[in-house]
Chains A and B, each alone.
Chain A
Amino acid sequence: MKPLVFLFTRSFVNGVKRSLSSPRRLLGLIFFVGYYLLLFRPRFGSEPSLPSNAQLPQFEVPPIAAIDAIVFAGFVGLTLLLSLSLFSYQAGFKPADVDVLFPTPVSPRVMVGFRLLRDYLLTLVLPLLMLLFMWRPIGSGWASLFRGLPNPDSAGLVGRAAGASYILMAMAFVALGYAMGIFFNRPEEQFQRYKRLCGWSLFGVFVVLAAFVVFRVRSAGSTAELVDLAQSPLLRIGFFIATGATDLTMAPLTGSWIQAAFGGFLLVGMVAVGVIFSLRQAGFIYEQAALKASEVNSARTLQQRGDTYGIIAEQARTGRIKAGKKSWIHRWRPQGGLALVWKEYLLQARSSRAFYWLFPGIALWLAVLPGLLSSPRTPIGPILVLTQLMMVFVATAVLSQGGYIEMLRRVDLQKPLPFRPGTIIFYEVLSKSALAIVTCLVGLVAGMIVTPSLWPHAVAGLIGLPTVALLLASVFCLVIVLFPDVEDPTQRGFRGLVNLLGIVLFCGPSIALYSLLLFMGLPPALAAIPVGALNIVIAVGATALAGNLYASFNPSE
């Protein structure tokens, strides 16, 4: 156990020291702490005060029932939060643990015991951090709940009992998480089936309980009915750990010590069962952690690079993504450069298929909604074009991010193909803008159907926005070929800034021309024609420039 404690404490201390070692990291720490401060203390800087009786919520129910309902709701929330990591205890292991720690004579049981303790302590820290920042805003509200009671000081006692309940509840979840995680991740095929079965069963229970709560909340006519909902046997049984914790917490107020003892025994029993089962299965932990560590590590690296195709390929390696059935794309047999577009559609179909439904769906919604809701004086024509422009930007940016990284990574394969570098870049740009073009076409046509009077703006969009998609795709391509090192974090950060600058520089002339033509009184559809042409000219220029840079791109440098 001693080496593990040493490893943990040194890693923690060094991590804190490291965060203070450079202005950049320090800035990160300040942002992190500041985030929580702002998130949980909206009235930052003001002194909290106990609300006067006039400001207090007036319950139609006994205060104890209201407090019980709030405590139960709080523990249910914590139950949901803690349940998220039930099956994935191994995610905490690093490749260094696998390569350095596992070959040492440290017993797997000691390892499981230590990790249980460590994860338990970490779990305790999270709500403490939250309480630290939330204490003032919620403290006064919590105390006000107890004003109607004979002894208002019992607020502190119940708070301490809630803390004790959470300590037991957190341990129960950590121990059960390890026990279930090790069990369901065992290598034999049937354990994967059990995992799916258990996962879907828990999901089913959650859906039933959520539906029940939504139904009761919608039909509730008073606060009393909402408080009564917390006493529902269905919820009390479904969230039995939260029920145990609530009974234990409420004992100082209700005096139901037998019920509290049952709650306490339930929690202690869950802890005992979890710990015993975890330790009995400790022999599997090294193998499972080794598999997970390499998976998590490579996924993390790919995420940092923005390499979406790489992330999907990792999932394919572990069998989570399959090739799927053949589609219309397979019947299309282009020759020459168009084969690059064919390839790109296949890659997008596997890496970004959801976007082909999601983005046109959002575009449709954005196009239809203003027409249905707005008053006659709302300028919904320009709103339609602007929202579709936004969708074009998002769709192009999303596909460009991973797609161009894939292009650079496959340079050894693409450049020897019988095309000039400029030709390769042209087809890459074309394929990256396709989703954006489809998206805005769907939105604009739908907008025109719902509100026919919008046709001048919709036609302007139909002419102009596809060329904007091409322009944006070419700018993103130019920027990534200009800063092609996907491994270098400095280049990654810089690329984001230069993307914005590039959009301003390359799209600026078109925006200026469109504004000028509208100012001169030209109808939007007519103004869009020269603007579309200008977009294409600039896109061709940016593509040619990117082609030249791609020609001299050396993957080894």
Chain B
Amino acid sequence: MLEVVGLVKEYKRFRAVDDLSFTIGRGEIVGLLGPNGAGKTTCLRCICGILRPTFGRILINGHDVVTDQAAAKSGLAFVPELPSLYELLTVDEHLRFIAMCFGTIEVYDRMGEQLLERYSLLDKRNELVATLSKGMRQKLSIACALIHNANVLLFDEPLIGVDPAGAHEVKSEISRARDAGASVLISTHLLDTAERLCDRVIILARGVKVAEGTLADLRAMSNMEGAGLEEVFLRLTSEAKPPPIVAP
């Protein structure tokens, strides 16, 4: 379970995320939508401990990401938009390394082959990551995220650069994780994907949450009955206020 309470992230005098709160329960997929520069990636990076929140709390399975990092992160998986992988490790070594960090090397020994096969990485297992294509790296990044059975999954634009078969596999994986009881947060520009995949969406604009709910809730909120997510999204984000400037 993921709980974000009053999250604020400031870069010097610029507030990238302003007072963001939401909760994702077990077995739920939530989409984080917003135009470029809305603060989606900053929000995800705060949740997974890459960035320190300026204010607010982030709880993963009840553990605070700032004060109880190791426990909080042990249930978390993050798939960044541009997979940041060790290029001089082989595919197998990379997965093995992640499994060792999470103390699940025995699980990898048992299930590794199956995981590699599922992501079409089996024939590449002894090749260096540097030689993989962008799509294969994305698959490896997802495989790394799923290796320790995390129950909070964060995806930053997971379908960018993945071929149709890969995209289908990623969507199936996300659905499987939801069915297994995981809390999933997906940051995406692809509104049709969000509409079909997510149980709920949060719309950010200029660092502020402008709307949250199911598509029906958003339609009602924007007085656009029968409209698609795209129209609702454009209406809500265009009405957002300019970004707040932090006092020096």
Contact = CB atoms under 8 A, between A and B. Distances in A.
Contacts of B98: 417
B88 A342 contact: no
Contact of B101 (A310, A411, A418, A551): A418
Interface in A333-353: 333-340, 342-343, 346-347, 350-351
A323 B128 contact: yes
Interface string B90-105: 1001000110111101
Nearest to B50: A415
A410 B52 contact: no
A166 interface: no
Interface stretch (A222-230, A243-251, A313-321, A495-503): A313-321
Contact of A334 (B11, B87, B100, B130): B100
B88 A313 contact: yes
Most chain A Cβ neighbours within 10 Å, of B74, B78, B130, B131? B130
Given A350-B88, A417-B101, A317 B130 contact: yes
A321 B84 contact: no
Given A335-B103, A335-B105, A418-B73, A412 B80 contact: yes
Nearest to A351: B88
Contact of B87 (A313, A336, A339, A342): A313
Contact of B78 (A339, A346, A416): A416
A377 interface: no
B69 interface: yes
Interface string B42-83: 100100111110000000000000000111011011101000
A346 B95 CA distance: 13
B11 A312 contact: no
B89 interface: yes
A183 B129 CA distance: 31
Contact of A321 (B48, B105, B128): B128
A216 interface: no
A421 B126 CA distance: 30
A342 B48 contact: no
B101 A316 contact: no
B48 A323 contact: no
B85 interface: yes
A337 B80 CA distance: 22
B70 A411 contact: no
A208 B75 CA distance: 64
B69 A309 contact: no
Contacts of A351: 88
B84 A409 contact: yes
B49 A410 contact: no
Contacts of B130: 313-314, 316-317, 321
B157 interface: no
A314 B128 CA distance: 11
Nearest to A423: B70
Task: Say which size band chain A's interface belongs to.
Answer: 35 or more
A309 B87 contact: yes
A163 B3 CA distance: 80
A343 to B, nearest CB: 5
A412 B78 contact: yes
B195 interface: no
A339 B93 CA distance: 11
A336 B86 contact: no
B212 interface: no
A309 B88 contact: yes
A321 B97 CA distance: 21
Contacts of A416: 48-50, 73, 76-78
A552 B93 CA distance: 29
A556 B40 CA distance: 13
Contacts of A338: 100
Given A321-B128, A419-B69, A342 B86 contact: no
Contacts of A410: 84-86
A346 B126 CA distance: 13
Interface in B106-142: 126-128, 130-131
B100 A339 contact: yes
Nearest to B77: A416
A300 interface: no
A24 interface: no
B89 A551 contact: no
A554 interface: yes
A420 interface: yes
A555 interface: yes
Nearest to B80: A412
A418 B103 CA distance: 10
A310 B87 CA distance: 8
A343 B89 contact: yes
Contacts of A347: 86, 88-89
Given A323-B128, A416-B73, A555-B50, A340 B101 contact: yes
B70 to A, nearest CB: 5
A322 interface: yes
A270 B52 CA distance: 67
A343 B71 CA distance: 22
A418 B74 contact: yes
A47 interface: no
B24 to A, nearest CB: 17
Nearest to A316: B130
B101 A419 contact: yes
Given A317-B131, A411-B50, A339 B80 contact: no
Chain A CB within 10 A, most for which of B11, B50, B85:
B50
Nearest to B102: A418
Contacts of B41: 556
Contacts of A330: 93
A412 to B, nearest CB: 4
Contacts of A419: 69-70, 73, 101
A188 interface: no
Contacts of B127: 323
B84 A412 contact: yes
Given A330-B93, A343-B89, A556-B42, 20 more contacts: A310-B87, A316-B88, A317-B130, A323-B126, A335-B100, A336-B101, A340-B101, A343-B93, A412-B80, A413-B144, A416-B50, A416-B73, A417-B102, A418-B102, A419-B70, A420-B69, A552-B51, A552-B52, A554-B11, A556-B45
Interface of A: 309-310, 312-314, 316-317, 319, 321-323, 330, 333-340, 342-343, 346-347, 350-351, 406, 409-413, 415-421, 423, 551-552, 554-557
Across the A-B interface, the 8 shortest Cβ-Cβ residue pairs: A339-B100, A313-B87, A316-B130, A412-B84, A313-B130, A418-B74, A416-B48, A418-B73
28 contacts: A313-B87, A313-B128, A314-B130, A317-B130, A321-B130, A330-B93, A335-B105, A336-B103, A338-B100, A339-B100, A343-B86, A343-B97, A346-B88, A346-B93, A347-B88, A347-B89, A350-B128, A409-B84, A412-B78, A412-B80, A412-B84, A416-B49, A417-B101, A418-B74, A420-B69, A423-B70, A551-B52, A554-B51
